[in-house]
Amino acid sequence: MIIEENEFDKQIDDLLNKEKTARLANNLVETLKVTKQIANLCFVTKQYSKFNELIVSLSKKRGQPKKAQIELVQMAMIELKTLPINQKLEMIDAIMKVCEKKIYLEVEYARCVLMLTQYKEDDNQIADAAKILQEVQVETYGSMDKREKLEFILYQMKIMIKKLDYVRLFIISKKIEPKNIEDDNIADLKIIYYSFLVIYYRHENNYQETAHAYSKILESLHKNRQLEATKVDFNFKIDYNTVLENYALYTILSQYSEEKQKQLQSIATTYKYGLEALPNLQQLIQAFLGTELISTEPQTHNIQAAEIFDESIENNQQRYKDFRRQLIHHNLRIFQIYYDSVYLNRITELIAISTEELEEEICIMMDQKLLKCKIDRIKGIVDYQLKKNENDVLQEWGDNVNKVLNLIDLTSNLIKREEELFL
């Protein structure tokens, strides 16, 4: 339908007069009817610039009902899908002006921001996209659907990764509570969330948290292997074997602790059948759980092809060095089990490292309180039997006394139970 310009202006003026009369008379039904007619007239005649002007001016009118503003914005959101990019951007800008700082239009505002940001991303204007996105706090929007809210926050995280702004990436990640994504209906979003966390912690060389993030991804894949089809940006692989391998290797790379050993034991038992497809990794896990010396040369363990050592992923050389360090640290803990004291040259002979490197690694372990020993350089001996101070001796004596008393108490209770049964 084609209408002459002056006839269009005349019809718009007539409708605006009707809108004013209905609005001042507090006639909601008539106001809604007229505002819809204004919008439809603009859309039919393709007068989008005029509509953008009118939607902003109408929203500022005194006494304009919220319902009328909501209807106009929703009609505009539908029409947006049919517009070419330039007209779409102009209308998005107009809608955002109407929606800004209005709680009842917060969802539409967020959707417009998302569309604008996606255009900026496609145009490689990442800094502008990040600036627009970070001003929107969708976590406070009560009217937005849970899935849509999570998708928006994940998109914020994605843009921060592209911008290489890891500080803000971590801040945004805290908007999502882990317990809120433990839902099978949004398992794909859970995988994307923890994938982005892997990228962050991998950048920070935080092996323990990286392993934890991989464990959450693996947990979802273990329940539903179809989730391997989940698409994640940045060439992140959601393959069961790759995720399992990365989870195990990042656990091995983390600093020794009782928790680490429990985690390795859990991997060995929970994912026993999955590890059968990765025999080299399975042997490595068993070696770290055992009490025998292992080779300190990474290549002998045949895991060079693992993704964590891939050159396309940052800090791969550092991970290779840290893997070798964990092999050395494992062996030094084993020496502590079997020896009270041992010659330095004997250790270097058995684990094939230099004396200088050995001393350096022992000092690192002592500093991290992973090893209790002292080095006698004159004699060339590592002494694991350190002289205990008075407080340590007293504490050990007190612990032993408590153990004896607990055993006596337990024995006494068992005897009483037997007496009650047979007397």
What whole-number distance in Å separates Cα of residue 41 and Cα of residue 275? 65
Q: What percent of the chain has pLDDT over 70?
A: 98
The tokens describing 91, both together, are: 């209308």
Distances (CA, A) of 62 to 25, 29, 57, 58: 12, 17, 10, 9
Element at 269 (helix H, strand E): helix 258-270
Question: What is the pLDDT, as a whole number, of residue 351?
Answer: 92
Mean residue pLDDT across the chain:
90
374 phi, psi to nearest 5 deg: -145, 150
Query: Average pLDDT in the 236-244 region?
Result: 93
The tokens describing 239, both together, are: 């393959």
Nearest by Cα to 28 from 63, 54, 65, 73: 65
Please give the DSSP secondary-structure letter assigned to residue 180. Answer: G
Instruction: Give the amino acid at 376.
Output: D
What whole-number distance in Å separates Cα of residue 365 and Cα of residue 264? 20
DSSP 394-410: HHHHHHHHHHHHHHHHH
Question: What is the pLDDT, as a whole number, of residue 51?
Answer: 93
Task: State the residue for tokens 């809604």.
Answer: 32
pLDDT(222) > 70:
yes
Query: Average pLDDT in the 292-297 region?
Result: 93
Pairing of strands 341-343, 374-376: unpaired
pLDDT(385) > 90:
no
Helix axes 5-24, 48-59, angle to 10 degrees: 20
Instruction: For residue range 76-124, list pLDDT tens digits in order.
Output: 999 998 899 899 999 999 999 999 888 899 999 999 999 999 999 999 9
Between residues 290 and 142, the one the model is more confident about = 290
Question: What is the pLDDT, as a whole number, of residue 372?
Answer: 85
Question: What is the pLDDT, as a whole number, of residue 376?
Answer: 87
Question: What is the pLDDT, as a whole number, of residue 126?
Answer: 92
Instruction: Give the amino acid at 296.
Output: T
Nearest by Cα to 213 from 186, 273, 175, 173: 173
Instruction: Give the amino acid at 65.
Output: P
Integer-rounded Cα Rg, in Å, for the chain is: 33
**Sheet with 381-383: strands ordered across:** 341-343, 381-383, 374-376
Question: What is the pLDDT, as a whole number, of residue 71?
Answer: 92
Query: Average pLDDT in the 300-322 region?
Result: 91
Nearest by Cα to 221 from 250, 252, 246: 246
**Contact of 335 with 372, CB cutoff 8 Å:** no
Query: Average pLDDT in the 47-68 region?
Result: 91
Question: How far is residue 70 CA from its own chain's centroid?
Answer: 35
- What the chain holds in terms of domains, given with CATH numbers, is 340-404 (1.10.10)
pLDDT band at 229 (very low <50, low <70, confident <90, very high): confident
Other beta carbons within 10 Å of 280: 14
The tokens describing 267, both together, are: 């991997």
Element at 382 (helix H, strand E): strand 381-383
Nearest by Cα to 260 from 249, 273, 274, 271: 249
pLDDT band at 5 (very low <50, low <70, confident <90, very high): low
Question: What is the pLDDT, as a whole number, of residue 373?
Answer: 87
Nearest by Cα to 82 from 70, 91, 72: 91
What whole-number distance in Å separates Cα of residue 54 and Cα of residue 12? 10
Helices and strands in the chain: count of H runs, count of E runs: 19, 3
Query: Average pLDDT in the 325-349 region?
Result: 92
Other beta carbons within 10 Å of 200: 20
pLDDT(386) > 70:
no
pLDDT band at 3 (very low <50, low <70, confident <90, very high): very low
The tokens describing 148, both together, are: 């849509």
Query: Average pLDDT in the 11-22 region?
Result: 91
Question: What is the pLDDT, as a whole number, of residue 335?
Answer: 92
Between residues 54 and 3, the one the model is more confident about = 54
Question: What is the pLDDT, as a whole number, of residue 387?
Answer: 62
DSSP 257-268: -HHHHHHHHHHH
Instruction: For residue range 162-217, list pLDDT tens digits in order.
Output: 999 999 999 999 999 998 898 889 999 999 999 999 999 999 999 999 999 999 99
Between residues 156 and 144, the one the model is more confident about = 156
pLDDT band at 264 (very low <50, low <70, confident <90, very high): very high
- Across 179-188, 307-316, 323-332, 368-377, the highest mean pLDDT is recorded for 323-332
